[in-house]
Structure 1
Amino acid sequence: MASILLIDDIPVVRLTVRKFLERGGHGVEECGSVQEAEERLRARSFDVVVTDLWMPGEDGLALIDRMKRRHRATPVIAITGGAPRSPQRVSIEEAARAGADRVLMKPVGMQEILSCVSDLVGRG
């Protein structure tokens, strides 16, 4: 069982991904913005962070970059529907450059995300 911080600005995406993760036996805290996520990360540590890349205000790429500098060991799964007005590969490449351990394209499947969490938590 992993403790997971889930960040996405779209409530229905958060609900769906949270349910997937909880069905896998994980504990999930969710937030709708990078600012809220950073407050949670200052308050406690998580086994895995799952974040959307493209959100209003500050994006998930900046969060991943800062996280990897501060909490280097915390694995990050980036989820994205793709960069606005860019091919999907742009999001994948940018997430990898920022330090994401895995990148999943939306819509994310339950087995897909549970497998990623299992792989990332199991490697520690």
Structure 2
Amino acid sequence: MASVLLTDDVPVVRMTVRRFLERGQHTVQECGSAAEAEALLGARPFDILVTDLWMPGRDGLTLIGWVKAHKPGLPIIAITGGAPRAPQLFSMEEAARVGADRVLMKPVGMQELLGAVAALAPSAATE
């Protein structure tokens, strides 16, 4: 079981992804912005970060860079529907460039998400 920080600015996406993670027996703390995520990451440990890329204010790319600088070793799964006015491949490449360990395209499937969590945080995998 992993402790997951989920960051997405869209409440219905957070609800869906949280439910997927909870079905995999993971504990989930959710927030709606990069600023909130940074505060939570500074306050307590997590096994993995799942973050949207394109959010108002500081985006997920900025959050990933912050995590790499302040919480090295924390696995990161980026989820994205694609950048505004850019091909989906752009988002995938940008997320990998800044350090995401895995990039999943929305709509994210439950098995795809749970498989990524298990691969990146194997000590937290369910039995």
Q: TM-score range by the shorter chain?
A: over 0.9
* Residue 99 in structure 1 maps to residue 80 in structure 2: no
Query: Which residue pairs with 2:26 in the alignment?
Result: 26
- Superposition map of 1:49-68 within 5 A: 49-68=49-68
Q: 1:113 is matched with which residue?
A: 113
Q: Number of aligned pairs? A: 124
- State the Cα deviation string for residues 40-64 of structure 1 (Å, max 9, x = none): 0010110000000000111000000
Local SS of the residue matching 2:103: strand
* Aligned equivalent of 1:10: 10
Q: What stretches of structure 1 move > 3 A for 4+ residues in a row?
A: none
- In structure 2, stretches of 5+ residues that fail to align are none
> How far is 1:34 from its partner?
0.6
Tell me, what secondary structure is at the counterpart of 2:107? coil
Match of 2:89 in 1: 89
Q: CA–CA distance in 2 between the matches of 1:32 and 1:108? A: 18
- Give the Cα–Cα distance (whole angstroms) in 1 for the partners of residues 55 and 75 of structure 2: 20
In structure 1, distance between residues paired with 2:68 and 2:11 = 26
> Cα RMSD between the aligned structures?
1.1
The whole-number CA distance in structure 2 between the counterparts of 1:34 and 1:49 is 11
CA distance in 2, matches of 1:10, 1:116: 21
Q: Distance in 2 between matches of 1:21 and 1:96?
A: 22
- The TM-score with structure 2 as length reference comes to 0.95
Listed one character per residue, the Cα deviations across residues 76-115 of structure 1 (whole Å, up to 9, x for unaligned) are: 0000000000000100000001100000000000000000
Q: 2:95 and 2:112 mapped to 1: Cα distance?
A: 18
Deviations, residues 9-66 of structure 1 (Å, cap 9, x unaligned): 0000000000000000000000001111111001011000000000011100000011
Q: Percent identity?
A: 66
1:73 Cα shift? 0.7
TM-score by length of 1: 0.98
